[in-house]
Structure 1
Amino acid sequence: MAKTKRKPKIQISRHAQPFLYKGGKIGVLFIHGYTDSLWQIRHLARELHQKGVTCMGICLPGHGTTPEDLLNFTTSDWLSSTKRALVDLRKFCQKVYVVGVSLGGNLALSLAAKDPNLVDGLICVGTPMFIKNQELFKFLIPIVSKFKKFWPKRIPESKKELCRRVGIYDKFPLKSVLEVIEFVDKNRVEVAKVKIPVLIIHVGEKLYVDPKSYQYLYDNLNSKKKEILKVKDHRGNSTQRTIFKKSCEFLEI
């Protein structure tokens, strides 16, 4: 009898691998952005761990492998993955916070709106409430996707090899982009139900995030404790130190 061929499992890039650094009873879950990688925020987790914080990072399904892999997953998969991680972290931590970058913040906001007991506080870094030119995208993507499955990201040639190595994708699956836009639209309505403390990191000149997102989020949260920290770029060394210091103050670590 012929053996059934199994589809080989796609390996996650070493730099995009999920992590767990066990510490004390305060836990922080790190969620990367859409088509991005944990590589960008792992250093912050290590610094918090040095302060005795338990830090967990999840690789959202379809990420850290190939852009084609993203076609197999939806925002529902990412929400489920995030919720499982929060439940797991809660098993050995008394307080659980989230650092969500871009779409990672949207996922956490959505879960906090549905179940306030899942998360004790949230730091949203460059999280969109509006996508630039989103109405144009909604119109064009259904047309363009008939001929193209992917759209290239604006990545300088000098950085493409680094992105490939650390699990950051160089193109967007158009089908997935449309779903993300629709998810962000729904998220705008949900944020009024969020009552936990939220620190909003306003990242200047993010390519796809409409700048009005940050003030909208601040104005519509139902949180008693909420702040906005404005930075130029969350990847610079001095800016990262500022974000780290402010995050520790906000989380009272």
Structure 2
Amino acid sequence: MSNVLVLHGFTSHPTLTMGPLPETLRKAGFTVAQPTLPGHGTRPEDLRGVRWLDWLQTAREAYQALPEPRAVVGLSMGGLLAGWLAAEHKTAALVALAPALGFKNRLAYLAPLLHHVKPWAHSTDPAEEARRRARSPNYPNFPTVALVQLIALQRRVPELLPRVRAPALVLEAAHDDTVPEAAVRRYFALIGGPHKGYRVYQSQHDMLLDPLAQQISDDIAAWLKEKLV
């Protein structure tokens, strides 16, 4: 029996945002662990005071609690943490969906300078915010200081990815409005192992809430079964 750690993204709901993937993996014969990263799954205010090291430590503890062989799958920020764990440990396989190694909105990088005067990051259009709430279980807004922590994590991952020797699969969302294609391709290029694949889906950033979510989940399960035989 193989074991898979599934890591959600920044401001994502720890279970709902992962769509059909966890159940698809279980049906394929995997044991699945889904930790809730600190500050998530409750209310946006709970992200205040959480450090990127807290996210990493929670992911690390959940990973180490699984028996070997262990694979790790991460979405967005979860993809960064998954890459970190695969660099630290002799991981059986790594899957990263839209890993957040960069932002399309370059203003996000002003967060370390502006969080004192702009404590919250959210849509300024109430109608758009209401539509987003209706279609996504993720937080509709978040403390700007939490974005500072994500940026800090983002800046540390590139130096670790060359240490990843596990078979790796990186998935790009062609219609991603959050993470640019260049960032996903950079993540892929930095992975050090020779056995790695890259796939593009006609999806939005939340690939597992997308109409293609079941296909993506089936593809991940099939790839993991192939690599973990």
User: Could you state the TM-score of these two structures normalised by the residue count of structure 1?
Assistant: 0.79
State the 1:180 CA deviation.
0.9
1:98 is aligned to 2:57: no
State the 1:156 CA deviation.
4.8
Do the aligned residues in 1 keep the contact of 2:45 with 2:143 (CA within 8 Å)? yes
Amino acid at match of 2:29: G
State the 1:100 CA deviation.
0.3
Instruction: Quote the residue 1:182 is aligned against.
Output: 152
Instruction: Quote the residue 2:183 is aligned against.
Output: 213
How many pairs are equivalent?
A: 218
Instruction: Quote the residue 1:203 is aligned against.
Output: 173
Instruction: Quote the residue 1:141 is aligned against.
Output: 111
Cα 1:249–1:142 change in 2 (3 A) is: closer
Do the aligned residues in 1 keep the contact of 2:25 with 2:32 (CA within 8 Å)? yes
1:76 is aligned to 2:53: yes
The CA distance in 1 between the partners of 2:213 and 2:61, in whole Å, is 28
Instruction: Quote the residue 1:128 is aligned against.
Output: 100
Cα 1:175–1:59 change in 2 (3 A) is: same
% identity of equivalent residues = 24
Structure 2: state its 5+ residue gaps: none
Amino acid at match of 2:82: A
The CA distance in 1 between the partners of 2:166 and 2:173, in whole Å, is 21
The CA distance in 2 between the partners of 1:242 and 1:43, in whole Å, is 10
1:191 is aligned to 2:167: no
The CA distance in 2 between the partners of 1:49 and 1:211, in whole Å, is 30
The CA distance in 2 between the partners of 1:142 and 1:229, in whole Å, is 33
Query: SS of the residue aligned with 1:58?
Result: coil
State the 1:241 CA deviation.
2.9
- Which structure's CA Rg is the greater one? 1
Do the aligned residues in 2 keep the contact of 1:130 with 1:185 (CA within 8 Å)? no
State the 1:242 CA deviation.
2.5
Cα 1:240–1:137 change in 2 (3 A) is: closer
Cα 1:105–1:157 change in 2 (3 A) is: same
Q: Which runs of 4+ in 1 moved over 6 A?
A: none
Cα 1:182–1:194 change in 2 (3 A) is: same
Do the aligned residues in 1 keep the contact of 2:20 with 2:213 (CA within 8 Å)? no
Query: SS of the residue aligned with 1:206?
Result: coil
1:57 is aligned to 2:31: no
Cα 1:46–1:75 change in 2 (3 A) is: same
State the 1:216 CA deviation.
1.2
Cα-to-partner distance string for 1:11-45 (whole Å, 9 max, x where unaligned): xxxxxxxxxxxxxx211111100000120215211
Query: SS of the residue aligned with 1:172?
Result: strand
Cα-to-partner distance string for 1:61-104 (whole Å, 9 max, x where unaligned): 110111110012111001110011011112xxx31111100000
The CA distance in 1 between the partners of 2:62 and 2:10, in whole Å, is 17
Do the aligned residues in 1 keep the contact of 2:86 with 2:164 (CA within 8 Å)? yes
The CA distance in 2 between the partners of 1:128 and 1:211, in whole Å, is 10
- Aligned-pair Cα RMSD in Å: 2.0
User: Could you state the TM-score of these two structures normalised by the residue count of structure 2?
Assistant: 0.87
The CA distance in 2 between the partners of 1:98 and 1:188, in whole Å, is 18
Query: SS of the residue aligned with 1:250?
Result: helix
Do the aligned residues in 2 keep the contact of 1:62 with 1:71 (CA within 8 Å)? yes
The CA distance in 2 between the partners of 1:159 and 1:229, in whole Å, is 27
Structure 1: state its 5+ residue gaps: 1-24
